[in-house]
Structure 1
Amino acid sequence: MFGLPSKSQANAVAGKARATHHARSIVADSAWTDDAALLASLETSHAGLDEEQIEDRLDRDGVNEASHEKPPHWTLQLARTFKNPFIIVLVILAGVELATSPDDLTGPIIILVMVVISVLLNFTQEFRSSRAAEKLKAMVRNTATVTRRASDGHSERIEVPVVELVAGDIVHLSAGDMVPADLRLLAAKDLFISQAILTGESLPVEKTAPEHAQKTDAQVEPLDLPTVCYMGTNVVSGSATAVVVATGPRSYLGSLARTLTGQREMTSFDRGVKSVSWLLIRFMAVMVPIVFLIQGFGKGNWMEAFLFAISVAVGLTPEMLPLIVTANLAKGALAMSKRKVVVKQLNAIQNFGAMDVLCTDKTGTLTLDKIVLERHLDLDGEESDDALEYGYLNSHFQTGLKNLMDKAVLAHRDLEQSIGKWKVVDEIPFDFQRRRMSVVLTPGGGEDLLVCKGAVEEMLSICAFAREGDHEIPLTDHRRESIRAMTHDLNEDGLRVLIVAVKRQPALGRTYGVADEAGLTAIGCLAFLDPPKDTAHTAIAALHHHGVEVKVITGDNEAVTRKICREVGLDVTHSVLGRDIEELDDAAVDALVARTTVFAKMSPLQKSRVVESLQRQGHTVGFLGDGINDAAALRKADVGISVDTATDIAKESADIILLEKNLMVLEEGVLEGRITFGNIIKYIKMTASSNFGNVFSMLIASIFLPFLPMLPLQILVLNLLYDISQLS
């Protein structure tokens, strides 16, 4: 019943993978190239491009759109839906009946009505999916600030439509901007980029020019390159100057768009129905000529023999299959909508019920999609209210942009009463070289309190003392190592750690600076996490009980993913990084995927490859995701599942949309899908056995009767009456 993807489908996937690999190589090659060499290779300069260069590059590379491939015209899409073998059989039978009995249109009309219903359903599904790439293009219809040379030779900053950007353009970024193309940074100041749209990670990442960045190894994922910004991401804070290295389909986002175009692959149930159709066709191809020849030679009336052969063909054909399936799916969709599951593609319901492997993202599905302060500890790893209180003072009184961790600290509103006695004296803002920030407060009485919060190594370098109980002791190298070991253990558990330190001193009566961040006393640390949902463990256990294996495929880091998966009851014995499967052949990937539950740091095409591997192994695969980075896998899966808060492109690529991003809702949908799936399978089995019995009875009767046992129209009516009774 369930088939494997065809060779042509596999070749198409391989082609799309090569396109994405090419886009990645363009970016990777430029990441660490010397600025002068990079600008020379792009035939540009800091002064920008002139009009002639821009026109030449637009002609060469095309406009800066996510994908140039247009969906086929709706008439061509409609014509493609007639390629179904079962549809072809019905059309041929209607044509033969019309040719043999031109005055009786009842049979042909009934068959053609059912063909039209089936064709329209398939056309609607394909037409909707073809709009996914267009949605992706719409995301980048914006403007960008660039430096270009005017006709008189002088350089100027101007706003241009994003679609007019070309390789070699000098682009300027500031807070709030969307990155308009794949860029290599030339200069950056305090630049933080949100890559959630591509990776799913909620925290922004720091980007900087190559001279200030720590060079990564050759195996690093493109999205982890610190010197490159990608089309579609957005600037959270800071500013930068960069050069465009890839536009349109050559960009990372553009390569993803290619995976969303073209004809969608058949799901496992579609392949099953097609195999049943071909089985009936092959049986018909054998039976009809045999009946025709036996009747013709046996009774000498070849026209009557031909009509009887047509009767056999009609008898073997489950004419109401499209309508029965549609009615069953519609009823299932209505029932599922009451369980907060919206079915966008009716044909996905049976795959939802047949699903035996669910691949899901981590963020927002297993977790709350919200950074919370998980622990506040002293330097020995014990709970500490002092660390929380000082951290709260730092986050509350800072005037800069409050990040997600600051907001998590400020969620402890019970500490609001502790800030009343403090007044702000000064502030030493955050920067990416120091990786910390300080506020200076006073309670009055001529004493100032400097409260500093920041990254572990940077904080330990400015601390001279450590708080132990009510005492302050010198911070020795041995003590520093014990603090590093504690914070490392927290990092291994997937927690992000900040250290809090203070210094009390007489009021200086002047502006505070970085030099004053010295001789501090380390108080403790704050540990942050996107925690698991309360319902995740129960839901995963329920899915396992119903025979659905859960695998987590995420762009987030391995430590965080393993911790969350362990807490919700998933086996984390084997975990794999995206780069681990990059160079493996299909056989090796299949073996790896079969024994692995956790996949971390996965690129969009790597997610899709895992889904394809599971399908090759005979599984019916569901994929739950909500970002652009999930769109390729959503489209590849037998049933793509998204949520109503997902990006437009994810919802367009999905077959089913959950009104709650909750695995408990998913479990209820699976059960309802299985009821629908079971009903359809029952119909196919009952109809096939019933029709075969009828035809076999007629065949035996025709040997002894001097006339046709039944006319084609009589068989059609009999089949319809039987099928209509099954609609209930």
Structure 2
Amino acid sequence: MTERERTEIEQPEPGGEPAGRTAQAPVNPGLTAAEVAERVARGEVNDVPVRSSRSTVEIVRANVFTRFNAIIGVLFVIILIVGPIQDGLFGFVIVANTGIGIIQELRAKKTLDNLAVIGEARPTVRRDGAAAEILTSEVVLDDIIELGPGDKVIVDGEVLETDSLEIDESLLTGEADPVVKKPGEAVMSGSFVVAGGGAFTATKVGRQAYAAQLAEEASRFTLVHSELRTGISRILKYVTWMMIPTAIGLILSHLLTLGLPGDAAIRRMVAGIVPMIPEGLVLLTSVAFAIGVIRLGRKKCLVQELPAIEGLARVDVVCLDKTGTLTEGGMDVSALRVLEDGDERYVRQVLGALGDSDPRPNASLKAIINAFPVTEAWRCTRSLPFSSARKYSGASFNDPDGESTTWLLGAPDVLLPAGDRGLAEIDDLNAQGLRVLLLARAERELDDPDVAQRARPTALVVLEQRLRPEAPDTLRYFEEQGVRAKVISGDNAVSVGAVAGKLGLPGADAPVDARRLPGDTDAMAAVLDKGAVFGRVTPQQKRDMVAALQSRGHNVAMTGDGVNDVLALKDADIGVSMGSGSEATRAVAQIVLLNNSFATLPSVVAEGRRVIGNITRVATLFLTKTVYSVLLAILVACWQIPYPYLPRHLTLLSTLTIGVPAFFLALAPNKERARPHFVRRVMRYAVPSGLITGAAAFATYLLARGYYSGPGALSAETSAATLTLFLAAIWVLAIIARPYTWWRIGLVLTMGLAFVVVLVTPWLQAFFDLRLVGTTMPWAAVAIAVVAAVLLEITWRWVDRRFPA
């Protein structure tokens, strides 16, 4: 143990209160190396596989064994049987797309696994009389594990030593109040320490531990609920329902009514079914998310749940904890003001002893430790660790004169009665953005619930907080993007407001003391909507404030690094933890900023907006194809004529107007603000675009059927209809590619040029069975496509005006 941890932990009597720290009780040395080896050999190891991502097998399975891959696979096998191979090109495209999806997700997995190792917490375990940090997976049965504020209980156990140990089990039991633990009592994995410290003996490890499976799921890289994925699943369900009757109708129409040979009827049926499937949409969504994870990983941002990227982009309120988020973790003592003609030398000794009394000091106490060295003559007989709920800590000492004294250190407005004249001076200091702690001598015993009453003020400790240099730019970014930032802190409201004001936060000049917030959710939400800075907020209030904002329809993100932020992080739509934060906060947060840089958040928001905006764009492309495919199938059945296209034609069109362009558009920069109602927004463009495109292609087909005759008529009719369909579809792509940049224009022109190459290259003409006959009908096809393009422009502009986003 370190020099500051040389004092030992006293064992209280059964049924008594934690007695604090003393110098007599010996510390249990823990297991020996031989005992650890025996337990490892018996398999008594904490072997729960904690992973940050899906396994390689799961990734391959998820990308290969999909509903639509199965459907397309069956159709591909059918085409291989009836031939020719050109009509089975869609099968090879699916293989390529699936391979791309697997490769990208494996890259994301590698990135996340590496980041998870960096951010993994290491419990402190006693072995051979020494405390050492080890991997969670190396803990064995009967290990003695030390606990401090913010530590998560990783396995089930029995309390061995306590130092005012308070554990929050709300994540397991739902009970909000912390539980004071005594030796011999049980602790459950998944709970965390909110105050005090101690040690416990591991009684259940691995999969036998309570909530072990929950802990595994919480730390896995999962494809959980998101509006994008839910919307796409709903669309795919509708498409599935349409495919079966369409397939039956097409095959019966071609076999019975038209009398086509079986192989020809099957090819036309496959041609009608395959384009209905937006098979690349799910793939591109996963790829876009995976690449987002890789990009953020390079900035040391660990995304523990895939849709968290999307979720943060939809956030309209971000609640920021001041300490560790807007300010750096460290502080400096800038002044010591002794009250009532006190002895400054004596006060410095008291502060040094208080710092030495806490084995796990917070940032404020660390600053005091650095400023006031410990005096050996002071002996701590009892300690009370800091709690964010009570806002102070304390300790009892035998001083150098043999006198027993009890001291409290904490928030002045909590330790002093309302109206105390000293509060005015403290308010002046807080208004300068300084943090002020009051040292007071207590008249009551430390274990008295009312120990803070009538405590005698002795000195003010003025602390200067270190502002994060990147915070002003980050707050400015949120303001520009329409995201309202609210600072929620346990510190004095005036001090918090001063810090926020230095950072340029709008509304910082009107800080609110959370102790005066109404308890009713609606009334609290009204105050929260108006205010921007809130001080003296308790952990439960943080949770209530998140719920109140959500009740007003806000998407709320919560940032924090301390144990007092855990409940709010868990309930927020998106929880963001600093990498240096407590283990408990990292466990419940969806996003962990491993570099502790608040400036990384705009990158996460931008990445989410890129994914949402781009997937909305490409989804419109895919579903336009679905709509015109369904329309063509219905029109063909009604007119009792052959389906105009072979599978090879639609594979070519899909590749040039959807597949290749969608891949580039899905990964392009996009700063559009995320908007809700994904399915509605996509369908309001896709339905009219599909109807216009399909109607134009069918009109050309009917016109060509009346124009051409003879043995090669069907091929000529198909070629003219294909020309119209391509031109109309490429115009849809041109609309979706807006606003234009050089590479977007180049993308559209390249796809058009590729189609021209197919039309003018003899062997490609033969391969795709495309041959424009004469000049009259091809130009008529172009004219119909131009009319369709004009209608598309008019319709999109009308939709924009009629249904504004």
Question: Per the alignment, do residues 226 and 527 of structure 1 end up closer, same or farther by CA in structure 2, a change over 3 Å counting?
Answer: farther
- In structure 2, what is the equivalent of residue 310 of structure 1? 270
Distance 1:183 1:706 in 2: 75
Q: Residue deviations 1:633-659, cap 9 Å, x none?
A: 989987665556568998798776647
Instruction: Please say if 1:725 is aligned against 2:661.
Output: yes
Correspondence for 1:220 among 149, 168, 177 = 177
- In structure 1, what is the equivalent of residue 408 of structure 2? 455
Instruction: Please say if 1:260 is aligned against 2:213.
Output: no
- In structure 1, what is the equivalent of residue 257 of structure 2? 298
Distance 1:356 1:123 in 2: 32
Q: How does 1:168-183 map to 2 (within 5 A)?
A: none
Distance 2:594 2:140 in 1: 38
Letter of the 2:601 partner, please give it. L
Letter of the 2:274 partner, please give it. V
Letter of the 2:246 partner, please give it. M
More divergent stretch after superposition (703-712 vs 429-438): 429-438
> Structure 1 unaligned runs (5+)?
1-29, 37-45, 147-159, 200-217, 381-385, 413-418, 441-447, 460-477, 502-520, 581-587
Is the 1:499–1:526 Cα contact (8 Å) retained in structure 2?
A: yes
- In structure 2, what is the equivalent of residue 666 of structure 1? 601
Is the 2:471–2:598 Cα contact (8 Å) retained in structure 1?
A: yes
Q: Residue deviations 1:646-697, cap 9 Å, x none?
A: 6899879877664754545423542453244212211111332245236535
Is the 1:392–1:410 Cα contact (8 Å) retained in structure 2?
A: no
Question: Per the alignment, do residues 321 and 529 of structure 1 end up closer, same or farther by CA in structure 2, a change over 3 Å counting?
Answer: same
Tell me the CA shift for residue 221 of structure 1: 1.1
Distance 1:247 1:273 in 2: 40
- In structure 2, what is the equivalent of residue 21 of structure 1? none
- In structure 2, what is the equivalent of residue 276 of structure 1? 235
Tell me the CA shift for residue 713 of structure 1: 1.6
Is the partner of 2:437 in helix, strand or coil?
Answer: strand
Is the partner of 1:108 in helix, strand or coil?
Answer: helix
Is the 2:338–2:347 Cα contact (8 Å) retained in structure 1?
A: no
- In structure 1, what is the equivalent of residue 61 of structure 2? 79
Q: Comparing both chains, which one has the higher relative contact order based on Cα–Cα distances under 8 Å and sequence gaps of 6 or more?
A: 1
Instruction: Please say if 1:106 is aligned against 2:110.
Output: no
Instruction: Please say if 1:428 is aligned against 2:388.
Output: no
- In structure 1, what is the equivalent of residue 723 of structure 2? none
Tell me the CA shift for residue 526 of structure 1: 1.8
Tell me the CA shift for residue 112 of structure 1: 1.8
Q: How does 1:226-625 map to 2 (within 5 A)?
A: 250=209, 256-257=215-216, 259-260=218-219, 264-301=223-260, 303-321=263-281, 324-325=284-285, 349-358=309-318, 363-373=323-333, 376-377=336-337, 379=339, 394=349, 401=356, 404-405=363-364, 407-409=366-368, 427-432=377-382, 435=395, 454-455=407-408, 482=420, 497-499=437-439, 524-527=459-462, 539-540=474-475, 542-543=477-478, 546-548=481-483, 564=496, 567=500, 569=507, 622=557, 624=559
Is the 1:359–1:621 Cα contact (8 Å) retained in structure 2?
A: yes
Q: Residue deviations 1:406-436, cap 9 Å, x none?
A: 6525777xxxxxx9xxx99984344436826
Distance 2:197 2:641 in 1: 92
Letter of the 1:34 partner, please give it. G
Distance 2:192 2:570 in 1: 25
Distance 2:374 2:460 in 1: 23
Distance 1:267 1:709 in 2: 39
Distance 1:686 1:715 in 2: 14
Distance 1:703 1:541 in 2: 59
Is the 2:409–2:440 Cα contact (8 Å) retained in structure 1?
A: no
Is the 1:388–1:526 Cα contact (8 Å) retained in structure 2?
A: no
Tell me the CA shift for residue 125 of structure 1: 6.0
The count of corresponding residues between Structure 1 and Structure 2 is 573
Is the 2:154–2:189 Cα contact (8 Å) retained in structure 1?
A: yes
- In structure 1, what is the equivalent of residue 613 of structure 2? 678
Is the partner of 1:368 in helix, strand or coil?
Answer: strand
Distance 2:153 2:614 in 1: 50
Letter of the 2:378 partner, please give it. I
Distance 1:711 1:31 in 2: 84
Is the partner of 1:435 in helix, strand or coil?
Answer: strand
Distance 2:643 2:140 in 1: 74
Letter of the 1:714 partner, please give it. H
Distance 1:328 1:534 in 2: 31
Q: Residue deviations 1:369-404, cap 9 Å, x none?
A: 234447755649xxxxx9897589548987984955
Is the partner of 2:631 in helix, strand or coil?
Answer: helix
Distance 1:677 1:32 in 2: 59
TM-score normalised to the size of structure 1? 0.55
Question: Per the alignment, do residues 705 and 48 of structure 1 end up closer, same or farther by CA in structure 2, a change over 3 Å counting?
Answer: closer
Is the partner of 1:455 in helix, strand or coil?
Answer: strand
Letter of the 1:353 partner, please give it. A
Distance 2:146 2:245 in 1: 71
Is the partner of 1:265 in helix, strand or coil?
Answer: coil
Distance 1:49 1:356 in 2: 50
Question: Per the alignment, do residues 285 and 619 of structure 1 end up closer, same or farther by CA in structure 2, a change over 3 Å counting?
Answer: farther
Question: Per the alignment, do residues 100 and 173 of structure 1 end up closer, same or farther by CA in structure 2, a change over 3 Å counting?
Answer: closer
Tell me the CA shift for residue 722 of structure 1: 0.8
Is the 2:354–2:395 Cα contact (8 Å) retained in structure 1?
A: no
Question: Per the alignment, do residues 673 and 411 of structure 1 end up closer, same or farther by CA in structure 2, a change over 3 Å counting?
Answer: same
Question: Per the alignment, do residues 173 and 720 of structure 1 end up closer, same or farther by CA in structure 2, a change over 3 Å counting?
Answer: closer
Letter of the 2:276 partner, please give it. L
- In structure 1, what is the equivalent of residue 645 of structure 2? 710
Q: Residue deviations 1:235-286, cap 9 Å, x none?
A: 9x99978666776664689964564369652333222222232233333345
Is the partner of 1:432 in helix, strand or coil?
Answer: strand
Question: Per the alignment, do residues 524 and 704 of structure 1 end up closer, same or farther by CA in structure 2, a change over 3 Å counting?
Answer: closer
Tell me the CA shift for residue 719 of structure 1: 0.7
Distance 2:188 2:426 in 1: 31
Q: Residue deviations 1:334-373, cap 9 Å, x none?
A: 8878988687887654444334454665541243223444
Question: Per the alignment, do residues 128 and 435 of structure 1 end up closer, same or farther by CA in structure 2, a change over 3 Å counting?
Answer: same
Is the 2:562–2:581 Cα contact (8 Å) retained in structure 1?
A: yes
Distance 2:242 2:553 in 1: 26
Distance 2:235 2:301 in 1: 29
Distance 1:239 1:300 in 2: 84
Tell me the CA shift for residue 94 of structure 1: 3.5
Distance 2:493 2:627 in 1: 54
Percent identity of paired positions between Structure 1 and Structure 2: 18
- In structure 1, what is the equivalent of residue 675 of structure 2? none
More divergent stretch after superposition (274-283 vs 335-344): 335-344
Letter of the 1:220 partner, please give it. D
Letter of the 2:615 partner, please give it. I
Is the 1:455–1:497 Cα contact (8 Å) retained in structure 2?
A: no
Is the 1:377–1:525 Cα contact (8 Å) retained in structure 2?
A: yes
Is the 1:284–1:316 Cα contact (8 Å) retained in structure 2?
A: yes
Tell me the CA shift for residue 491 of structure 1: 14
Tell me the CA shift for residue 710 of structure 1: 1.1
- In structure 2, what is the equivalent of residue 65 of structure 1? 46
Correspondence for 1:117 among 92, 100, 104 = 100
Is the partner of 1:34 in helix, strand or coil?
Answer: coil
